[in-house]
Chains A and B, each alone.
Chain A
Amino acid sequence: MRSADDWLSLLQGVPDPEIPVLNIVEMGIVRSVTCSHESVQVDITPTYMGCPAMDAIAYDIRTQLTPLASLEGRGLTVELVYAPAWTTDWLSDGAKAKLEAYGIAPPGKTTDKRALSGEAPSVRCPKCKSGKTELVSLFGSTACKAHYRCNDCSEPFDHFKCI
């Protein structure tokens, strides 16, 4: 029978539906896996309360892992949990590098003083790496992103909101 760690490795094969370069474990969406003889429970947490990808993520997990759990005679459930609240601090440095390579400026640390004072953080252009960028809109293509523009290379890009 697979252990919780084995299931976690399998979950690393499930991509985020909106940001397919990251898997749901790297995103910090998978909170924990709990196993018993009869069942496997995967707890997931939303980046934003209304994130429409959550249903797709739960569906993807069930589709990919339920057959494997059945072979072991176990049921698989996916539970939505809200605590502790998701934070961009859960994205590893590796995950942030992948985001930047994909064209999304990664979030800074929420403990950054500028984030606390509400001042706009300095965001590096994912294309030309210039720091001369400006906020176009607090809201971007998905609930977890804001819209920026680079003043050097003129590239419009998404920035992962820092929460």
Chain B
Amino acid sequence: MNARFEYLLRLGDDALLLGQQLGLWTGHGPVLEEDIALTNIGLDQIGQARAWLTLAGRAEGTGRDEDTLAFHRDQSKFRNALLCERPNGHFGDTIVRQFLFDAYAVPLHAGLAQSNDAEISAIAKKSAKESAYHLRHSQAWMVRLGDGTTESHAKVQESLNLLLPFVGDLFHSDEVSSTAASEGWGVDPAGLRDAWEATLTETLEAAQLRRPDAAPEQVGGRLGRHTEQLSFLLAEMQVLPRTYPDAKW
């Protein structure tokens, strides 16, 4: 198994799926500013996905580039965390999904910035600035919705209850991630949990939200075991390049 390829796919696919889903908010944001904010964040995610998938393609060494990997792979070949394929739902659902991810992306990018691989480190240092900015946005909305009206509080609490069990993949360690960590070019996801927990606890307190009772965490995305939702997302994302391969516009 090519650990480097697998590891980079995980990084790329998380960003790709979030970017694709945030893009679906174009023209549907609750207010103009948020429409622009969500799609701007989506754009950053797509930019990160392109960089990681380009590196993944090179690591694989069979000539697949970012587009081939994004548009010509089937569901079972995707390595994104299950959290990233949860549907957009309402605005609160999207904010909670993004917050749970941003709180993980900040320590992830800080760790990868120390990678002994110059290319991984360069992309991570660039992404770190973006993920910190994204967290500032999603965290502010967690507080605004959680500590807002009775209705916004109830809705976002429900979003949290539904989405929290899906974070398992983010901290899932296996042979791929331990190879990455021991060889010094990647980080061990399990080691990111403390930083993530600290951000979560602090934010939930400020947002007057309750941490739901522990539910079994769902894992499988890193191994290609996905939920039905990913099929719908990929069908929409891939239909054009698959129908008209190599089309240009």
| A binding-site residues for B, Cβ under 8 Å | 46, 48-52, 81-86, 118, 136-141, 143, 147, 161, 163
Contact = CB atoms under 8 A, between A and B. Distances in A.
Contact of B133 (A82, A85, A137, A163): A163
Given A49-B50, A84-B125, 12 more contacts: A48-B43, A48-B47, A49-B47, A49-B51, A50-B44, A50-B48, A82-B51, A82-B122, A83-B118, A85-B126, A137-B34, A137-B37
Q: How large is the interface on B (under 10, 10 to 19, 20 to 34, 35 or more residues)?
A: 20 to 34
Contact of A49 (B33, B126, B136): B126
Given A49-B130, A82-B51, A138-B137, A143 B125 contact: no
Contacts of A161: 133
A50 B45 contact: yes
Nearest to A86: B126
B129 interface: yes
B190 interface: no
Contacts of A85: 122, 125-126, 129
Contacts of A48: 43-44, 47, 130
A144 to B, nearest CB: 10
11 contacts: A49-B127, A50-B42, A82-B125, A85-B122, A85-B125, A85-B126, A137-B34, A138-B136, A139-B33, A143-B44, A147-B33
B41 A83 contact: no
| Chain A binding surface SS class | loop
Contacts, number: 71
A143 B40 contact: yes
B176 interface: no
A118 B43 CA distance: 22
A163 B129 contact: yes
Name the residue in B19, B127, B129, B137 with the highest tally of chain A Cβ atoms < 10 Å from its Cβ. B129
B121 interface: yes
Contacts of A51: 43, 47
Contacts of B44: 48-50, 143
B41 A139 contact: yes
A161 B125 CA distance: 17
Contact of B37 (A52, A82, A84, A139): A139
A3 to B, nearest CB: 28
Given A48-B130, A49-B44, A138-B133, A83 B33 contact: no
A50 B43 contact: yes
* Most chain B CB inside 10 Å of its own CB: which residue of A81, A85, A136, A147: A85
B133 A46 contact: no
B43 A143 contact: yes
Interface in B123-148: 123, 125-127, 129-130, 133, 136-137
Given A140-B36, A147-B33, A82 B43 contact: no
A138 B50 CA distance: 24
Contact of B136 (A46, A118, A141): A118
Contacts of A147: 33, 36
Given A83-B118, A85-B122, A139 B137 contact: yes
Contacts of B118: 83
Contacts of B43: 48, 50-52, 143
Contacts of A139: 33, 36-37, 40-41, 137
